[in-house]
Amino acid sequence: MSDNQSTGGVTGASASSLWKFTLALLLLRLCIGWHFFSEGTKKFSYDEGQKEWSVNVPTERLFRSATGPFANFFKNQLPGFYDWENLLAVPKESKPLTAEELAARVEWDQGYAKRLAAAKKEQQPEPIELPEYAPYKAWGDAIVEGMREKLDRFSKLSDVSDEQDAAAADHFVARHRQLADFLGEEFEAIEEYQHELWRLENLEEQGGATDIPFRVERVAAKKSEAAGLGVRLVTEVRGIERGFENDLRNTLTAKQRKRSTLMAKVEDRLTDPKAAKLEQMNWTVAYVITGAGVCLLLGFFTKVAIVSVMIFLLSVMVTQLPWVAGADTTFFFYQLVEFMALLVLLVSGPWRLPGIDGWLHGMRSERIEAEG
């Protein structure tokens, strides 16, 4: 066999391998692009009643359950939400009621029933009260007071008419009722939550809780479980409060909502700065994931899309490092695989693959050669 024939065979084999490698990378890019596009679009939802878009990104749940060296950083980004850590997350043993406690509950229930009957008889609005014995009483009262303050600040706007003020007051009553009903339905769950906190407190007080490995893991697991239930309750109630804020915004006319100065005043009176930052973060995450998916599918701004998603994945992964006791490892390893797949695309030169970037790169190369 001649040297030319040998060289030609090697060149043909290399070209075949390069073609297969390029096809594999293209399929990888398309699969990753479709994954992020589909996951991103799931985070957007449209409320027909409110006629507005919203996003469902579990940023708060992720940050609040963060473990490891970055936990404090992530938790400091979250709004306190009516001091729930001190008013709701109260360790309390769940045990049978004493005769006195049972009698006090019956007395309160009977008194509330009488107040409801009296209001109905006099054709007055029914009073909305949280039971004095409820495990969520202090936290619920703080939330109601917070919503009432928002109502007062909104009503004091000079642009709000008496009719709008009355409508806002009706919205407050409706959301107050919704809050009372939700907390009432979660009565047993909250009691269980506080009992788990009490058990956790006892576990930590046991000797060796910070030295014996299996006990460290047990305490960490209990902390994660308790935090999850607390976050669920906070998330649900925050949804009620946000609904109330939207109710107040919607009492304004379309003409009023077009006035940027008025809407700026409204937002200033309704929004917690940290809550607003968290909401903005949720929208950013949803846009980044969806936009990166579109870019990867089209092969457009591929490098920017890859780096953006890699940063996002890394920020999620560091909240639950698998070697930290009590970390939730359900998503770390599959996200690590996604991260490494994106890294392969990045170092392989994504502009070499078929797509808009490849087309633009080819045009640029041809122009440089022509000018040369």
Instruction: Convert the pLDDT of each residue in 257-295 to its tens digit.
Output: 888 888 888 888 887 777 778 888 999 999 999 999 999
Distance, in Å, from the CA atom of 80 to the CA atom of 338, rounded to the nearest integer, reads 33
Closest CA to 36 of 336, 294, 341, 350: 294
Confidence (pLDDT) at 209: 47
Spatial distance between the Cα atoms of 48 and 245, rounded to a whole number of angstroms: 17
Burial classification of residue 258, based on how many CB atoms lie within 10 Å of its CB (0-12 exposed, 13-18 middle, 19 or more buried) = exposed
User: Mean pLDDT over all residues of the chain?
Assistant: 84
pLDDT in tens, 218-256: 656 666 666 677 888 888 998 899 899 999 999 998 888
pLDDT of residue 150: 92
Q: pLDDT grade, residue 177 (50/70/90)?
A: very high
Which tens digit of pLDDT belongs to each residue from 199-217?
887 776 665 444 455 555 6
Neighbouring residues of 172: CB distance < 8 A, sequence distance ≥ 6:
147, 148, 151, 244
Distance, CA of 320 to CA of 332 (rounded, Å)? 7
**pLDDT tens profile 27-78:** 999 999 999 999 999 999 887 776 778 888 888 888 877 888 888 788 777 7
Q: Indicate the residue type of 196.
A: E
Which residues are within 8 A (CB) of 126 and not within 5 positions of it... i.e. 6 or more apart? 116, 119, 120
H runs (alpha helix) in 209-258? 213-250, 254-257
Task: Give the pLDDT score at 210.
Answer: 47
Nearest CA to 326 out of 202, 200, 189, 190 is that of: 200
Measured CA to CA in angstroms, residue 251 lies from 152, 225, 260 at distances of 14, 40, 16
Of the candidates 130, 135, 136, 230, which has an alpha carbon nearest to the alpha carbon of residue 176?
Answer: 130
Strands (E), 17-73: 44-47, 52-55
Question: Maximum CA pair distance of the chain?
Answer: 110
> Does the pLDDT value for residue 6 go beyond 70?
no
Confidence band for 102, pLDDT divided at 50, 70 and 90: very high
Estimate to the nearest angstrom the gap between the alpha carbon of 39 and the chain centroid. Answer: 14
> How confident is the model over 10-29, as a mean pLDDT?
76
